[in-house]
Structure 1
């Protein structure tokens, strides 16, 4: 309760300093003011454009996150268990991972057009590598001695994956998923900024083109809201699939 109060006080102080500084230094054109940002934000809500564009970006980012996570976990498990195949593909995966995914956007426009498909694929590719690398690391970190003992006890590959490898790698998987949330949004928003006439990325780009700083900040609020929602969903799934982790977090807080 006290921490929440301090957070509210910090936010209030930050907004007050921002408002006063903007007026004192006549910097409204560059940093706007909280009052103007709030007015722009409320205007977007009133005319329905905020939730309309937010829902489009949320759909693109959510689908990209879902597909990227599924393929990332699947490929991570596969290469984590097949070391020879992992060694063969390693230089190619590292090369593609090193490439800034934003640079792929023009190519994706040529391949997939400017519709929602391009934004979903760009977000999925961005998410894929983070989830894949964390899943692969989690699978490879499982104790070989433990696997050897279970094999001696008659456990097959399916049982090893279901009972040992996946539970052991879950922490790594959810770390990758949490890290991927902003990157899913980056993929969707960059796609909208480059080629779109709707979505929060388009609102951001259009406001910047009109030098409407308040609307730019209002669009950023929408991005923050989406990020918080997605992070909350990932944390909820983590607690549901790893109840022991929630217990550990509670003990850490109490300490």
Structure 2
């Protein structure tokens, strides 16, 4: 027993969770990884700057210096932030609508197996259909305003959330479900106490996957028909052979998506701890 205790203490110390470690010892691995990542980024930017105009034409790949200059120009003339705000608004509305609809459909399919068996082929067919092919019809039905982008974003999100929530409900222990029924739990109690806690982990994972898809749906809609949004700004820059402008749009939307994914990851981590599953 004493040998096992010593071994456990050594494992805790080696993993950085031991009580005897100083703040510097706990932060050092994270700081080291951050320095390595910054060094890799700096090296890539240096190689890119060197190759621009020497190995590849500048108008094709631009350069970090030109991208930085164009970034400042777009900030100063009001091109970047208003268009980025429009795209985020479209993506968030579509994300919320698609997530709610997908979650509800997933719960319905999980609760009513007969409905799932009947409707599943149609759901699979709609999921397999490339959503971009629906965009001409959506433009005809809803015009070229924000509603069209919201619908495209919602369609790309809905099926990801739907399948994850449905899969979570199908994995519920049947014995546990039978115990709920034997104890006289109502349908609402079963949903709140069993189905929702079982689906929340899968739901948060699907949300992290779904938000970048919502951005894709919104930007595709802006490519198709729009007068504003980051997709419109990038398309206008591409038509002028402005590679730096295109890259400013790509980098801006990427940073935004990473920030939102980080927030969702923090929420997912706290929910996992609340459920006693440890960190993800």
State the TM-score bracket (shorter-chain normalisation).
over 0.9
**1:115 matched to which residue of 2?**
145
| Bigger helix fraction | 1
Q: 1:162 to 1:208 in 2, by over 3 A?
A: same
Q: How do residues 179-194 of structure 1 correspond to structure 2 at under 5 angstroms?
A: 179-194=209-224
- Name which structure has the greater RCO, CA cutoff 8 Å, separation 6+: 1
> Considering only aligned residues, what root-mean-square deviation do their CA atoms show, in Å?
1.5
Counterpart secondary structure, 2:53: helix
Highest Rg: 1 or 2? 2
Deviation at 1:164, TM superposition (A): 1.4
1:223-253 alpha-carbon deviations (Å, 9 max, x no partner): 112212321332243245443479722xx8x
**2:34 matched to which residue of 1?**
4
Gapped regions of structure 2 (runs ≥ 5): 1-30
Counterpart secondary structure, 1:23: coil
Asked if structure 2 preserves the Cα contact closer than 8 Å seen for 1:62 and 1:184, the reply is yes
Deviation at 1:48, TM superposition (A): 1.6
Q: Distance in 2 between matches of 1:2 and 1:245?
A: 31
Match 1:215 to one of 229, 237, 245: 245
Asked if structure 2 preserves the Cα contact closer than 8 Å seen for 1:142 and 1:169, the reply is no
Match 2:177 to one of 140, 147, 150: 147
Does the alignment pair 1:51 with 2:98?
A: no
**2:65 matched to which residue of 1?**
35
Does the alignment pair 1:229 with 2:254?
A: no
Deviation at 1:207, TM superposition (A): 0.6
* Pairs aligned (count): 250
**2:111 matched to which residue of 1?**
81
Gapped regions of structure 1 (runs ≥ 5): none
Deviation at 1:24, TM superposition (A): 2.2
